[in-house]
Amino acid sequence: MLKTKTLIHPETGALLKRALRIETVSYMGMSKEVSIEGWFPDDDGDGVLTGPDSEPLDAALVELKSAYAAEMKALAKSVRASTGLTQRDASLLLTGSPNSFSKYERGVAQPSWPTFVLLKLLARQPQLIEAIKSV
């Protein structure tokens, strides 16, 4: 059986050939470069991934999500320790939800981007909690 040596891009009409390309996978401010095989044009244009071509991208995303969850668990615990707040008080004060810090610290849920930024600021300057309490 003959294998196809080229494809035509379904949207651009560009001629595609099998090639390796380095792609960057990003998640919540973290990123990782991944080498993938797929159908790509000679220029830097869009390619097409078929079959298992996207598996390295999927694996990198799973890895980044796991690293982010671990970072969030540690960050939530650290912020609570440095501010002297209970899980419930931290949850209500910083997210409005009564159980969010329990979920963050167990890795069951991750904070939204604005909450992540707030936690990073509090990790650097725990005294900001007093300003937040006064709002």
Whether 75 and 51 share a structural domain: no
**What pLDDT, on a 0 to 100 scale, did the predictor assign at position 125?**
96
Q: In whole angstroms, what is the distance from residue 31 CA to residue 45 CA?
A: 21
**What pLDDT, on a 0 to 100 scale, did the predictor assign at position 98?**
92
Last-in-domain residue among 64, 88, 103: 64
What CATH number has the domain bearing residue 34?
Answer: 3.10.20
CA nearest neighbour of 19 among 51, 45, 50, 41: 41
**What pLDDT, on a 0 to 100 scale, did the predictor assign at position 44?**
87
Structural domains in the chain (count): 2
Whether 47 and 33 share a structural domain: yes
CA nearest neighbour of 57 among 77, 34, 40: 34
Contacts of 91 (CB under 8 A, 6+ apart): 97, 98, 99, 100, 101, 102
**What pLDDT, on a 0 to 100 scale, did the predictor assign at position 2?**
47
Q: Is residue 85, in this structure, part of any structural domain at all?
A: yes
Task: Kindly state the tokens that stand for 60.
Answer: 């990198």
pTM for this model (two decimals): 0.76
**What pLDDT, on a 0 to 100 scale, did the predictor assign at position 1?**
43
CA nearest neighbour of 16 among 6, 5, 31: 6
Q: Is residue 89, in this structure, part of any structural domain at all?
A: yes
Whether 52 and 102 share a structural domain: no
Range of the domain at 96: 67-133
Whether 52 and 77 share a structural domain: no
Q: Going residue by residue through the chain (135 aa), what tens digit of pLDDT does each one get?
A: 446 789 999 999 999 999 999 999 999 889 999 999 999 999 989 999 999 999 999 999 999 999 999 999 999 999 999 999 999 999 999 999 999 999 999 989 989 889 999 999 999 999 999 999 998
Q: In whole angstroms, what is the distance from residue 87 CA to residue 14 CA?
A: 55
If residue 7 lies in a helix (H) or strand (E), which one and from where to where? strand 6-8
